[in-house]
A and B are shown apart, each in its own frame.
Chain A
């Protein structure tokens, strides 16, 4: 087998298995870590928010406490202030100037920003900030009322757009004689103090109605962020539910909580407590960062690890795959290295064993495929292969090569008579002889059956094909001795040369084949191909068509040649001979178309035609009173039809109302030898029918009389070659004589063919031959001519003594 074209390795061959392993593990880790990260981050963020919320709530509590403490401090201060005797004295003086100045003075002592004095009937008696309020009702009667019952009161109030912690205390003398309001502004400083204590961003804001805008009074936030916060407050009503919420200020998230300080329809004051989320989330961010790096590091280690593992798996697998590919390409030389004692190592070992198995089996297959089992020579396939190779080389190198086809002559006879075992041994011997006759560089192959092929690689003079053919023929001249039997063999050799007889192996073989048949046909033992052979072949083909036409168009006709009984010189039987009256070529002799018909198998048609006509004629003659037995030639091929032939004959005889004994079928000896078993059985069936049988051309075949004895025949016809040679060679006469005697001994009638001279006739008479046929008596004639000849013979018999009448 030619090595298969190397299959291209898949391009960009990345270790797919490895990739799958890596991808699987990486995906697994990513998914697991992703889920973990999701949970951790979510938990973190929840915890962070909760923590921040808690911080805020705690901050609010601290804030409120601080606020309360602050308030208490202010109230206390106010209480002490209002109890100051000088203060009370000044108030009691009822002098507005004095009152104002003492308010300012004592207010400064406790850090109040605004001091207001109101009479018991809630009329402002003095105000350190706004003299216009003098005589107007005090703006915070509720506080006065609370102070009346509690001794003091305070509240967050808005005054002139500013936020104050207002403390109202009575001026006691020792009964309340007036109310003094001390207002402490809630400003950025206050917010900052609270921020330092709580750690929260603190903003105070107010609005005068639910739909009104928030106004920021004090804050620890940067000034730029404050308007933003005011806007966010309005936009986040959810914060009013007491929950914490997130507010984005200046791009930063703040967890925000509102602490309501005043909740009235017309006045809402809140403290906004905030903590930047980033600050609260920072610890959780750190956890996330650590988690991220852990994941990244784990991923890297995993990728590296799984790559190593994958390599460990895929590299040996790739080596195996490469090895398998090499095997596919026909390279069995390299084993796979077994590196590890693991599963893959086992696989590699099994692979190597498999490789050894393939190598040995392939050798055997090659041997079987390319070697002829019988002779040990290369077979047809190998021969064809080498011929093709030689042709390719010759085509490139311009050398010339020759092909010979050698076919044994009549080898079938050996097989049939001596058995296949002997035949096979004979073939082996022939192969060995041919092989021995050639150079080592030449190829000798058995192409099948009894056909051998020879390929001559060089074309020098001593090794010219004709010389070689001669050499082979000489080698075959010596008789073969097989199994104690000696036999002669002969072969026909066809020779074709490259490049003149064929450009390729097929053409060369065909040419050699044609030449070989030519050699057989011409019996020249060997022949070099010539294009005329092809023309002859063409003629054959043309002839086949014409022959068909001839049968259908009635161009065939029967001629008859009598067989003379030597005892009484009477025509006892007649041989029907087919003639072809070709419309253009005229009369075609049987030798020109019968062998052809036999070769092509068309003989069957012709035989039937002849049989039909001959029996019909015989019947007519019998009806006319002329009893002559009709002899018809049948070929080996006809005999092979067996029962079919028997039935046909029986039917024709019945049609012609002719007794079976009036028909004799003549079979050539060589035909009998072609397929003795079938011939034997068919002959027996014919004999049973009553048809007489005759062996034609006896002496040309190699049949022994012992074989003839087995055959159900009535008659032997001695080949004309022996008869014609009798006069010149006494040996031929002896053969004729002994044949006649032997035939008689076997109970057969003996007929001599081709009798042309009186001498021959005399001799045959002397030998006791029963009948003779030949030009001496009559040439083959048409039916009417034969009838005339027959009647003439009768007339002659009437006049000539010793000649028997009809």
Chain B
């Protein structure tokens, strides 16, 4: 999984797994993307917090993380008219139709 912080009015973000309070991504700055990190495959809820804070500003609930897939969570919004939102993207390598020669 990786995180992209595209919420221009939001500061650096921490992303925490809710059930055990484990910090998955620390201080993700605006307009940056983290590297992909290996995470446990499970259905989980993530909290997005302002850097160093303890209160969640965004919950990403019941995220079904399947083994072998790549997940990108894009943080967007956070403006006067639009709440902070998460845009999930799921990528999976599949069997190539065209064989390399």
Q: Do A and B bind each other?
A: no
Interface, chain A (partner B; CB < 8 A)? none
Interface, chain B (partner A; CB < 8 A)? none
